[in-house]
Amino acid sequence: MTAFTANDLAAWTGGTWIPSAPEVVSGVNHDTRTIRPGEMYVALCGARLDGHAFLEDAFRKGASCAMVNRGKAPPAIAGPCLEVGDTQQALELLASCYRQTLRARVIGVTGSAGKTSVKELISRTLAISGPTARSPGNWNNCIGLPMSMLRMDAGDAYGVMELGTNHPGEIRMLSRMLAPEWGVITNIGPAHIGFFGSLEAIAGEKAELLRALPADGRAFLNCDGAHFDLLRRAAPCRVVTVSAGGSADYVGERRDNGTRRVSVTESATGEKREFALPGPGAHHVVNVLFAVAVARQCGMPWEKVQDGIFGFRPLPLRGESINVAGVEVVNDAYNANPSSMRASIRDFIERPAVGVKWLVLGDMLELGEHGPAEHRDLGQFAGRGPWGGIILVGDLSRFAADGVLISGFPDDRVFRCSEASEAGRIMADNIARGDAALVKGSRGMRLEEAIAEFKRRREDNGQQNVDHQGFAQCAGCAGGTFVAGG
């Protein structure tokens, strides 16, 4: 358990205790819904909520103290308060100073897609070797990252932290706070391009993680990826490369025998080992390569690396497979951008299915002026697949639908809707037992509600045996050939 002294908290934040310091501070939390007795509650001021309004609730639930903006503590507050100039800035200072007391090797992970999966693969593999902290889920912003850092323990051997951004300058700020020794960049793609303007600008933003590394650190890059040269130049330290079939420090060769395995060769030693892939898509090869490279550079033996990767399971809403009334639903509804959409579709095409496969795709948000073109391109990409139908959700779905039809996909198998619940109704009316459906879109589309509506309708109406009448032209879709670029 992480424990802090009142003196350290005041010194690190420049704060003042009123009316007096607490005796015990067993952790830090900014959410009264999850706060535990003994923790310090941090009253953050957001665009919609002011955390100072929840001070009484925090103390009622056992908070030992609270960090508040100067002048914001009520006169009759029920416990000690650490007054600071700004609670957000103080939280970042607190995490940065605490970081300097830790002996763990800290590894930062960022990228346009796959960073949470790679972070989970790396951390779960390193945990075989020693105590390893990691950022929960995708706690990767100016609140999630410091909170993750403050959960690290003095005895941790490793800390694997995710860094995210949707505006210029965020990775630099987060990297300075984290002070990582090693850094991993999964890939560069048009995620949040509406705030950056170009792929080059996105690559430059991600490269800030590498610029923050020490001279004796490690930078892990995919040498097959876009802007590799830009990223390599940004690293002031040794660059460790991975490649799916090319020339690199760690090279993966996927086995095409239906076993979902990859053979990894370590160039420095010439040694080769096989690993289980967490999914059927080709992008999983690179994810595994990053985990192998980091673990091997940490000195882990091959057998332990294999054990760590073998035990990996995807997080909820990130490619998890669930069964709804005999239909396999791949729930990848956590987030989406052009790169991750294509990767998930490629992954889905390789999954076996008794019946036909369906796509349920929501809008990709934060693409700015690039949104219409990116959705049209995605539609053309998706429309070349052998689907039973394509359900498109959101305001931008009209552009995706245009692309689907340009590809030659039958227009009577394309469904457009504005809300996730409507998509769930369409799923219930059309998808049959034995079919499979991929559900993916940006977080703001809340496509998990489509799955919930689909499940509710099937259970309420007893629709357990929707058949394939009218679907004869799609009966062989599961074994079709998918040819797509991008």
Strand 250-254 to strand 261-266: parallel, antiparallel, or no bridges (unpaired)?
antiparallel
Is the same domain home to 367 and 292? no
Domain-embedded: residue 428: yes
What is the per-residue pLDDT across 52-62, written as a single tens digit (0 to 9) for each?
Answer: 999 999 999 99
pLDDT grade for 281, boundaries at 50, 70 and 90: low
Is the same domain home to 251 and 353? no
> Cβ atoms within 10 A of the Cβ of 486, count?
12
Domain-embedded: residue 478: no
Is the same domain home to 251 and 278? yes
Contact at 8 Å (CB) between 244 and 268?
no
Domain-embedded: residue 61: yes
- Per-residue pLDDT, 44: 97
pLDDT above 60 (res 476): no
Q: What is the pTM assigned to this prediction?
A: 0.76
Is the same domain home to 392 and 262? no
On the 0-12 / 13-18 / 19+ scale of CB atoms within 10 A, 138 is middle
- Per-residue pLDDT, 257: 56
pLDDT above 80 (res 31): yes
Dig out the tokens for 122 from the structure.
């790396």
What is the per-residue pLDDT across 283-315, written as a single tens digit (0 to 9) for each?
Answer: 789 999 999 999 999 999 999 999 999 877 766
- Per-residue pLDDT, 256: 65
Phi, psi of 69, deg, nearest 5: -70, 145
What is the per-residue pLDDT across 150-204, written as a single tens digit (0 to 9) for each?
Answer: 999 999 999 999 999 888 899 999 999 999 999 999 998 776 677 777 889 889 9
How many domains in the chain?
3
What is the per-residue pLDDT across 319-329, written as a single tens digit (0 to 9) for each?
Answer: 778 899 899 99
- Per-residue pLDDT, 479: 32
- Per-residue pLDDT, 58: 96
What is the per-residue pLDDT across 62-93, written as a single tens digit (0 to 9) for each?
Answer: 999 999 999 998 888 889 999 999 999 999 99
Is the same domain home to 266 and 335? no
Phi, psi of 80, deg, nearest 5: -65, 145
Is the same domain home to 302 and 405? no
3-state helix, strand and coil shares in percent for the chain, rounded to the nearest 5? 35, 20, 40
Is the same domain home to 348 and 303? no
- Per-residue pLDDT, 349: 87
Is the same domain home to 203 and 283? yes
Mean pLDDT (the chain, rounded): 89
Domain, as residue range, for 65: 6-94
Q: What is the CATH number of the domain that holds 299?
A: 3.40.1190.10
The DSSP-derived string for 428-464 is HHHPPTT-EEEEE--GGG-THHHHHHHHHHHHHHT--
Torsion over CA: 196, 202, 206, 211 (sign): negative
**Distance separating alpha carbons of residues 111 and 120, to the nearest angstrom:** 14
Which of 285, 310, 335 is a domain's end point?
Answer: 310
- Per-residue pLDDT, 254: 83
In this prediction, residues 20-29 reach a mean pLDDT of 94
pLDDT grade for 96, boundaries at 50, 70 and 90: very high
Q: What are the beta bridge partners of residue 241?
A: 221
> Cβ atoms within 10 A of the Cβ of 297, count?
16
CA angle, corner 370, sides to 367 and 373, nearest 5? Answer: 120
Q: What is the CATH number of the domain that holds 414?
A: 3.90.190.20
Strand 238-243 to strand 182-185: parallel, antiparallel, or no bridges (unpaired)?
unpaired
Give the HSE-up count for residue 116: Cα atoms under 13 Å, Cβ half-sphere: 20
Domain-embedded: residue 1: no
Is the same domain home to 195 and 304? yes
- Give me the percent of the chain exceeding a pLDDT of 70: 92
**Distance separating alpha carbons of residues 396 and 408, to the nearest angstrom:** 20
pLDDT above 60 (res 475): no
- Per-residue pLDDT, 472: 30
Domain-embedded: residue 345: yes
Cα 110 to the center of its chain, rounded Å? 9
SS (H, E, C) 50-95: EHHHHHHHHHHCCCCEEEEECCCCCCCCCCCEEEECCHHHHHHHHH
Domain-embedded: residue 191: yes
Which of 66, 94, 122 is a domain's end point?
Answer: 94
Quick one: which of 32, 43, 31, 29 has its CA closest to 1? 29
Q: What is the CATH number of the domain that holds 20?
A: 3.40.1390.10
Amino acid at 332: D
Is the same domain home to 85 and 194? no
pLDDT above 50 (res 214): yes
Which of 310, 328, 347 is a domain's end point?
Answer: 310
- Give me the percent of the chain exceeding a pLDDT of 90: 71
In this prediction, residues 120-134 reach a mean pLDDT of 95
Per DSSP, helices labelled H in 103-245 are 115-126, 144-150, 170-178, 193-196, 199-211, 228-234
Is the same domain home to 123 and 170? yes
Domain-embedded: residue 86: yes
Is the same domain home to 280 and 395? no
Domain-embedded: residue 480: no
